[in-house]
Amino acid sequence: MTSRRVVMRWHLRQVMATRGIFQTSELVPLLADRGVNLTRQYVHKLVTTAPQRINTDLLAALCDILHCQPNDLLQPVIAQAEQADTDTDTGTDGRADEGLGIGELRPIRAVVRRPHEPGD
């Protein structure tokens, strides 16, 4: 027997990417400017994993920084309590992998070149 439950899907990383923010450390001073002082480590965890709870001041600051609404960051999703272990289309968190990444948005890779050496 499977029971139905609602979980929240966290889209902070995707929203950041659409705004051109790819480094979690970029959020630390932006949050501090809005009176939300968090460590770099906490901000990294906040971006990379869905929080179980979120402070409304933090949510308001993120919405202000990213020019979005709370529903852009949080999406209620109906999840099945029991899922087959053989399902290969889901990630380790039981969610479908499709559409959860940042898509085609990627930071531009830097090219590091050595100075031109004599004789080359």
- Predicted structure pTM score: 0.65
For the segment 57-109, what is each residue's pLDDT rounded down to a tens digit? 999 999 999 999 999 999 999 987 655 454 444 444 444 444 455 666 667 77
Higher pLDDT, 88 or 41: 41
pLDDT at position 117 over 90 = no
Burial of 95 per CB tally in 10 Å (0-12, 13-18, 19+): middle
The reported pLDDT for the residue numbered 92 is: 47
Residues 6+ apart with CB under 8 A from 100: 9, 14, 91
Q: Which CATH number fits domain 1-120: 3.30.470.20, 1.10.10.10, 1.10.150.120, 1.10.260.40?
A: 1.10.260.40
